[in-house]
A and B are shown apart, each in its own frame.
Chain A
């Protein structure tokens, strides 16, 4: 890997006294899909929250395109080009589908993603653009959440538990769209509990266990035994 797009350099993150991340490092190159897997409470979401600026690591640095973003507030991180699809979709219930997408463009970054492009990617959203976001099904809400993040024209997309609560057929559809997005040059960090899905989509995998990187490697080279050892710590 040449100069990474994003580099997490041994960060330590805390919730009060709880040591959630201990010396975690991670690298993503341009156009790469990286999966972060791990059991509940392994620190996956904390890692994403740190990268998106929602929380700040106590030690260590997070460099994006060479600049340290570890102290940046979330609204500046997205302006720098890191957009997040939060866990549980978290669409704005008071806003229509289209308004949810438009709020995604709030950071006013220039780029290829517009309402039209998002509607091309997810035609079902175009049909339902004027409905309240709460009227969508789970899969459609996930599409809207991805579309909303794309509207920021990010260089790096952070996806937190996209597969959560979705039927396998919907999930395949969403991951197919995600690989179209990647082909356009956007890098993705996907936090997943669904290991099969993660290994299929990503080229490189990090497995977290109790706040540390227990295993990392090319998705194709990791064996099932390695992963379950790192995942469950047995």
Chain B
């Protein structure tokens, strides 16, 4: 019994990471109907950025967040203003193709710079610290921190989206771009800010990914899939839904892995497909209007 409880708990905690993959993806799609195929590779890029920062300055990976997150936000703003804004229009194909190309460029660029070797960020003793929450049930300090950070990120995004002027601009632009411009909103800038925010979340996700497990330049696309699945399970447009989606995906994978180590990814995909078949709008879709 405690074995299964442990498994589920680990799944829940990893779900926080998946929710962070998903939140940035969902935000971009919501504001500008852009499906960012390079999202997973940008997560890996953030991981390498953290690697470089920790190695050159010699700071702890968790502290590197202070540099990686703003840097990723800057990259996001520049990427949107310099490239992706030109792909947006009535046709959703150009942004799809351009971000697909970007994904290939990032993967190969990282391969050139860092080789295909697996890397990992080392945080020191905190990696093996655990908290006992019940008889026979222990949770790692890092997964717990990661999950709490994920909740904070989702809550922060939720507040920003529904309580701030920037969030209001995001929602207005998402509703009607030309009227948003009539109100004085420069939509190119609004999109830039949305991508900056998305990649700031990617920065957080990338650092935690790199602390948690080995990474190499090729693992991006799988992170994109996890993010997508979490978004679809949770329901498009719902931030708390993406957290639920991430948790469901994480738990399914953990249970699958326990049954047979080869079933980890398969179990996640199967649960995703089942939910897609039964509830194509996701579990917590945003109510229209």
Contacts and interface: CB of A to CB of B under 8 A. Distances in A.
A123 interface: no
Given A102-B168, A103-B168, A106-B169, A92 B179 contact: yes
Interface stretch (A74-82, A171-179, A180-188, A209-217): A74-82
Given A103-B168, A132-B289, A90 B186 contact: no
A203 to B, nearest CB: 26
Nearest to B289: A134
Nearest to A84: B182
A95 interface: yes
Contacts of B175: 92-95
Contacts of A132: 289
Given A95-B172, A106-B169, A90 B179 contact: yes
B86 to A, nearest CB: 16
Contacts of A74: 178, 181-182
Q: Which of B175, B182, B187, B289 has the most CB of A within 10 A?
A: B182
B174 to A, nearest CB: 7
B176 interface: yes
Nearest to A99: B168
B184 interface: yes
B31 to A, nearest CB: 11
B133 interface: no
B185 interface: yes
B171 interface: yes
A84 to B, nearest CB: 5
A75 B186 contact: yes
Contact of B169 (A53, A83, A103, A108): A103
A54 B185 contact: no
Chain B contact residues: helix, strand, loop or mixed: helix
B287 to A, nearest CB: 10
Interface in A47-83: 52-54, 73-75, 78-79, 83
A103 B181 contact: no
B183 interface: yes
A78 B172 contact: no
A186 B286 CA distance: 40
Interface string B144-188: 000000000000000000000100110110111011111111110
A98 to B, nearest CB: 10
Interface in A106-142: 106-108, 132, 134-135
A90 B176 contact: yes
A78 B168 contact: no
B168 A95 contact: yes
Interface string A138-171: 0000000000100010000000000000000000
A106 to B, nearest CB: 4
A48 to B, nearest CB: 10
A38 interface: no
Contacts of B289: 93-94, 132, 134-135
A86 interface: yes
Interface of B: 165, 168-169, 171-172, 174-176, 178-187, 289
Can you list the 6 inter-chain pairs with the closest CB atoms, starting with the nearest?
A107-B184, A74-B181, A92-B175, A106-B184, A78-B184, A94-B171
14 contacts: A74-B182, A75-B184, A86-B179, A94-B174, A95-B168, A99-B168, A106-B183, A106-B184, A107-B183, A108-B184, A132-B289, A135-B289, A152-B183, A152-B184
Given A74-B178, A92-B180, A102-B168, 20 more contacts: A54-B181, A54-B182, A73-B181, A75-B181, A75-B182, A75-B187, A78-B183, A86-B182, A92-B175, A92-B176, A92-B179, A93-B175, A94-B171, A94-B289, A99-B171, A103-B169, A106-B165, A106-B185, A134-B289, A152-B184
